[in-house]
Amino acid sequence: MVFPKDKVDYSLYLVTDSTMLPEGTTLYSQVEAGLKNGVTLVQLREKDTDTKIFIEEAIAVQKLCKAYDVPLIINDRIDVALAIDADGVHVGQSDMPIPMVRQLLGPDKIVGWSVGKTSEVETLAQWGTDMVDYIGIGMVFPTETKKNPRKSPMGPTGVIDILNALETTQATWCRTVAIGGLHPNNIPRVLYQCVSHNGKRALDGISVVSDIMASDDAGASTKILRGLLDYSKFEYIPLDFSHQENITSKDIKDTLSQVQKNHPLVQHMTNKVHQNFGANVTLALGSSPIMSEVPSEVDELASVPNAALLLNTGSVAPVEALKEAVRAYNERKRPIIFDPVGYSATQTRLTLNNTLLQYGQYTCIKGNSGEILSLAKLNQGKMRGVDAGDDKVDKALLARATRLVAFTYKTIAVCTGEYDFIADGTMSSSYRLGHGVGELSANDIPCVMIEDGPIPLMEKITASGCSLGTAIAALVGGLSPNGIAFNAVVSAVLLYKSAGKLASLNCRGSGSFHVHLIDALDQLFTTNDPSSWTAKVEIV
Ligand SMILES: Cc1nc(C(=O)O)sc1CCOP(=O)(O)O
Ligand SMILES: C=C1C=NC(C(F)(F)F)=NC1=N
Ligand SMILES: [Mg+2]
């Protein structure tokens, strides 16, 4: 009996584990509850079971799967798969080599491979269409289920690297599931973020072990997972992610009016140098600042109407406190603006920033050219300090880097400098499974450039870049429901740059520039007459 390969639905792939069964449940009761509620593929994975018992289990599970017309895959044990004529096998990198597995099973059985590196994708692509049918990409997040894992969590960006490799090696036949630490609190974000840069390939499914096998109500848990897979929007904030080509002065005026009315709270988790100035910028923008890095109050703060979080990783707060804040604001669907200060200047900062980028969804990621080029993995040389690199970077490269960051993190990416770039990778916050999903690739998502001529003083004061983050947080946080997120970010950058220009004309040096900048922000915000602002925006 052969299950036709093109009929396999990889969307909800249950991998069993008999070592975590709650009281009163059995391997079979958990699998059946899963099959009843939307599991579409089952893998029997028993690491330390004697062959005789393994075969008994396999025959029983096979009967269950057949009743639901769901294929059964056997993990690792080719002999057991052959003995019961299973629909396929899944092997890891240290198990029997794939060509040998294929030789034993024949061309019609399903062969799955654990993949964690792009080099493994290159290998499977060389083997061609009749070797590997699907890959398990993992582990995405930390998990207790896999003992002595020889690899570290790769996060959604690691999954995207693998999807990109499948596209560049043209392994179009190969299907994909993500695995490792996947649960309802992170699956929508994984489905939303994990798309190849050419826009053509999303995941074909997700694979779980403990979310179902360790569940007291495996049926209910499966129903939740099924719902997330069949839904297609990741509504992580109550804003509108539509995107219109050119933003008018009226759009900007509307945005500021909303902020003036809603008086947002901007929580800062930021570096010491930025705190004071950031608080004053917040006040100048008709908003309330709170500088708090206390985990125990993040839930209360995130619950304040129109709250927004500015997370600037120059902050010395412990990473657990920062993660708590990301969790709280994501759970309450309030915006987070992320400023990965000195992104790859040191290993410490790289690790901290990548940990946070893996951990939550950001409405906006803002950095200077060095940080954005590093995030886009386009940085030529090593980044220096936390100032933007001095070497002249060409605009086309900056636009490309900003688009890549926006697309990869499904966020609004801002790259600051003499020319500011803002790219919208939010894709109207929708996602879908499978191949050929492409609407837009990373190269053709919307992007604008904002300029107002050089403002050298901006580089000569501290916290000028950091405080643009404050302005973005205030304007995004201050939107009414269904306000347009991209308009708020563009408005903040236009406002900030125009205020910088005005301040540089009125001040007598870097000392008074700070003061004049606050004055200018207060004045431009209060009068709210964007048609008089000097900074200009153009589509790139
Ligand atoms: C079976 C397995 N393989 C992984 C890999 O990274 O290849 S992670 C994993 C365990 C996933 O369990 P849970 O859904 O409970 O996190
Ligand atoms: C180690 C594994 C990695 N991935 C998968 C699956 F998700 F099913 F592809 N199964 C495994 N046993
Ligand atoms: Mg910065």
Q: Which of these is catalytic: 65, 194, 447, 466? A: 466
| Residue 148, pLDDT score | 74
Q: Running DSSP on this structure, what letter comes out for residue 301? A: H
Using CA positions, which residue lies closest to atom 1 of ligand 2?
A: 114
CB of 81 within 6 A of ligand 2: the answer is no
Ligand 2 atom closest to the CA of 43, numbered from 1: 8
Distance 17 CA to ligand 2 centre (A): 12
Ligand nearest to the CA of 464: 3
Quick one: average pLDDT of 246-250? 92
Q: Is residue 326 scored above 60 in pLDDT?
A: yes
Ligand nearest to the CA of 371: 3
Model confidence at 392, pLDDT cuts 50, 70, 90, reads low
How far is 73 from 166, CA to CA, in rounded Å?
23
In the chain, the amino acid numbered 325 is A
CB of 201 within 6 A of ligand 1: the answer is no
Distance 212 CA to ligand 2 centre (A): 15
Neighbours of 253 (CB within 10 A): 15
Neighbours of 263 (CB within 10 A): 14
End-to-end CA distance of the chain: 56
Quick one: average pLDDT of 498-508? 95
Quick one: average pLDDT of 436-461? 89
CB of 136 within 6 A of ligand 1: the answer is yes
CB of 207 within 6 A of ligand 2: the answer is yes
ipTM above 0.85, yes or no: yes
Ligand 1 atom closest to the CA of 143, numbered from 1: 16
Ligand 1 atom closest to the CA of 149, numbered from 1: 6
How far is 534 from 540, CA to CA, in rounded Å?
19
Q: Is residue 102 scored above 60 in pLDDT?
A: yes
| Residue 391, pLDDT score | 54
Residue 126 CB contacts under 8 Å (≥ 6 apart), including other chains: none
Task: Give every strand in the sheet of 307-312, ordered side by side.
Answer: 288-291, 265-269, 307-312, 336-339, 364-368, 412-416, 419-424, 447-451, 536-539
Q: Is residue 105 scored above 70 in pLDDT?
A: yes
pLDDT in tens, 272-320: 999 999 999 999 999 999 999 999 999 999 999 999 999 999 887 899 9
| Residue 149, pLDDT score | 77
Q: Running DSSP on this structure, what letter comes out for residue 468? A: H
Start-end of CATH 3.40.1190.20 domains in the chain: 249-427+442-539
| Residue 81, pLDDT score | 98
Distance 153 CA to ligand 1 centre (A): 10
pLDDT in tens, 41-71: 999 999 889 999 999 999 999 999 999 999 9
- CATH number of the structural domain 5-230: 3.20.20.70
pTM above 0.90, yes or no: yes
Distance 179 CA to ligand 1 centre (A): 5
**Among 207, 210, 212, which is best to mutate for testing ligand 2, by the most ligand atoms less than 8 A from CB?**
207
Buried b (16+ CB within 10 A) or exposed e, 506-521: ebeeeeebbebbbbbb
Cα angle 359, 142, 435; round to 5: 75
Q: Is residue 179 scored above 60 in pLDDT?
A: yes
Ligand 2 atom closest to the CA of 113, numbered from 1: 9
How far is 405 from 398, CA to CA, in rounded Å?
11
Q: Is residue 393 scored above 60 in pLDDT?
A: no
CB of 177 within 6 A of ligand 2: the answer is yes
pLDDT in tens, 4-37: 999 999 999 999 999 999 999 999 999 999 999 9
Q: Assess contact for 241 and 426: CB atoms under 8 A.
A: yes
Cα angle 422, 472, 532; round to 5: 80
Which class for 357: exposed (0-12), middle (13-18), buried (19 or more C-beta within 10 A)? buried
CB of 138 within 6 A of ligand 2: the answer is yes
Buried b (16+ CB within 10 A) or exposed e, 89-118: bbbbeebeebeebbeebeeebbbbbbbbeb
Start-end of CATH 3.20.20.70 domains in the chain: 5-230
Question: Is 466 designated active site?
Answer: yes
Model confidence at 383, pLDDT cuts 50, 70, 90, reads very low
Identify whether 139 is preceded by a cis peptide bond (ω within 30 of 0).
yes
Ligand 2 atom closest to the CA of 135, numbered from 1: 9
Q: Which CATH class is domain 249-427+442-539?
A: alpha beta
pLDDT averaged over every residue in the chain:
94
Residue 438 vs residue 507, higher pLDDT: 507
